A = this chain, B = another copy of it.
Amino acid sequence: MTRTVLSSATSEVVIGFDEPFVMIGERINPTGRKLLTAEMKKGDYSRVEKDTLAQVAAGAQMLDVNAGIPLADEPKILAETIQLVQSLTDAPLSIDSSIIEALEAGLAVYQGKALVNSTTAEEEVMERVLPLVKKYNAAVVAISNDETGISENPDERFEIAKLIVERAADHGIKREDVVVDPLVMPIGAVNSAGRDVFHLVRRLRTELKVNTTCGASNVGFGLPNRHAINNSFLPMVAQAGMTSAILNPLHDGLVPAIKAGDVLNGVDPNCAEWIKAYREPTPEGEGRGGRRRGRRRG
Give the interface of A toward B (CB within 8 A).
Answer: 186-189, 191-195, 198, 219, 222-225, 228-229, 231-233, 235-236, 238-240, 253, 256-261, 263-266, 269-271, 274-275, 278-280, 295, 297-298
Q: Which residues of B contact A187 (CB under 8 A)?
A: 263-264, 271, 298
In whole angstroms, how far apart are the Cα atoms of A298 and B225 in the complex?
13
Q: Which residues of B contact A223 (CB under 8 A)?
A: 263, 271, 274-275, 278, 298
Q: Which residues of B contact A278 (CB under 8 A)?
A: 223-225, 228
Q: Which residues of B contact A256 (CB under 8 A)?
A: 225, 228, 232
Do B194 and A265 touch across chains, with their CB atoms under 8 A apart? yes
Which one of B233, B279, B297 contacts A264 once the chains associate, using CB atoms below 8 Å? B233
In whole angstroms, how far apart are the Cα atoms of A187 and B191 in the complex?
32
In whole angstroms, how far apart are the Cα atoms of A189 and B193 in the complex?
35
Of all chain B residues, the one with the shortest Cβ separation from A194 is B264
Do A257 and B228 touch across chains, with their CB atoms under 8 A apart? yes
12 A-B contacts (beta carbon < 8 Å): A187-B263, A187-B298, A188-B271, A198-B239, A223-B275, A224-B275, A225-B274, A228-B278, A229-B260, A231-B260, A232-B232, A233-B264
Tell whether A231 pairs with B257 under 8 Å between CB atoms, given A239-B198, A270-B191, A279-B224. Answer: yes
A59 shortest CB reach to chain B, Å: 13
In whole angstroms, how far apart are the Cα atoms of A195 and B228 in the complex?
23
In whole angstroms, how far apart are the Cα atoms of A121 and B278 in the complex?
38
Do A232 and B188 touch across chains, with their CB atoms under 8 A apart? no
Which one of B240, B258, B263, B298 contacts A194 once the chains associate, using CB atoms below 8 Å? B263
Of all chain B residues, the one with the shortest Cβ separation from A274 is B223
In whole angstroms, how far apart are the Cα atoms of A298 and B231 in the complex?
19
A284 shortest CB reach to chain B, Å: 17
A188 shortest CB reach to chain B, Å: 3
Tell whether A266 pairs with B235 under 8 Å between CB atoms, given A224-B280, A225-B278, A278-B228. Answer: no
Ranked 3 nearest A-B pairs via Cβ = A188-B298, A194-B264, A232-B260
In whole angstroms, how far apart are the Cα atoms of A225 and B261 in the complex?
13
In whole angstroms, how far apart are the Cα atoms of A168 and B270 in the complex?
39
Tell whether A298 pairs with B232 under 8 Å between CB atoms, given A187-B264, A264-B194. Answer: no
Of all chain B residues, the one with the shortest Cβ separation from A258 is B232
Q: Which residues of B contact A258 (CB under 8 A)?
A: 232
Do B266 and A191 touch across chains, with their CB atoms under 8 A apart? yes
A219 shortest CB reach to chain B, Å: 7
